[in-house]
């Protein structure tokens, strides 16, 4: 299903961006981020987020990201931002000239976690697939848009009704870079029902 960019709405519109039918570009501003409390004990809630709204309970959203990040914590990827205390994001965060963090953050009721794996600093392209099954969610990644690998399965306590999902980009420190989003598509849910142990009665 072709992704209709006209349905997207900003939460915190950035100063520099471009939106067309098949491509979105965001130039990040310094000191922008999404994070809540855990470990660092600060709260950052000022990253630009571009999303569409749906009450569909079962679907997948795919997007290709390309980026010229070069400073610590520069990041761009997929997001489901409900409000400042409840959201999910999946992205690559630049760390240094040797490695980056491919990871995801799940924030429920004002507390964030961060699950990561290290990847090479030379990677400047990644596909993501965000899938919903009612109030459970899955984030996957791919380097070719064909074979996706699971990054995270999670439950969102406030994610059972109408939601908003889409893309984001930010630079938590004193940096700026361009993030490009293409190949956006909403499909039937690619995260299939579990084939194994049956649900508890």
Q: What is the spatial distance between Cα 113 and Cα 90, in angstroms, rounded to a whole number?
A: 12
Q: What is the spatial distance between Cα 201 and Cα 196, in angstroms, rounded to a whole number?
A: 15
- Please give the share of the chain, as a percent, with pLDDT higher than 70: 100
Note the pLDDT tens digit of each residue in 86-98: 999 999 999 999 9
Task: Say which DSSP state 114 is in.
Answer: -
Q: Is 182 exposed, middle or buried (0-12, 13-18, 19+ CB in 10 A)?
A: middle
Residue 165 has pLDDT above 70, yes or no: yes
CATH topology of domain 5-55+64-125+153-184: Jelly Rolls (2.60.120)
Note the pLDDT tens digit of each residue in 23-63: 999 999 999 999 999 999 999 999 999 999 999 999 999 99
Counted residue by residue, the chain has a size of 201
pTM: predicted TM-score of the whole model, two decimal places? 0.96
User: CB–CB of 175/18 below 8 Å?
Assistant: no
Q: What is the spatial distance between Cα 180 and Cα 183, in angstroms, rounded to a whole number?
A: 10
- Sorted by where each begins, the domain ranges of the chain are 5-55+64-125+153-184
């Amino acid at each position: 299903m072709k992704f209709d960019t006209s349905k997207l709405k900003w939460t915190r519109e950035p100063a520099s961006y471009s939106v067309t039918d098949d491509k979105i570009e965001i130039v990040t501003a310094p000191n922008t981020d999404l994070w809540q409390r855990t470990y660092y004990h600060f709260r950052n809630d000022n990253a630009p987020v571009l999303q569409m709204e749906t009450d569909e309970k079962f679907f997948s959203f795919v997007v290709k990201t390309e980026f010229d990040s070069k400073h610590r914590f520069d990041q761009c990827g997929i997001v489901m931002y409900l409000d400042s205390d409840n959201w999910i994001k999946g992205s690559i965060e630049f760390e240094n000239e040797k490695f980056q963090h491919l990871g995801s953050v799940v924030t429920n009721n004002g507390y964030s976690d961060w699950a990561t794996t290290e990847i090479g600093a030379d990677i400047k392209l990644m596909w993501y697939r965000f899938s919903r099954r009612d109030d459970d969610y899955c984030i996957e990644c791919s380097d070719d848009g064909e074979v996706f690998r699971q990054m995270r399965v999670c439950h969102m306590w406030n994610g059972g009704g109408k939601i908003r999902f889409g893309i984001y980009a930010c630079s938590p420190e004193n940096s700026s870079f361009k993030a490009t989003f293409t190949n956006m598509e909403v499909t039937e849910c690619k995260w299939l029902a579990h084939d194994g142990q049956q649900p508890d009665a």
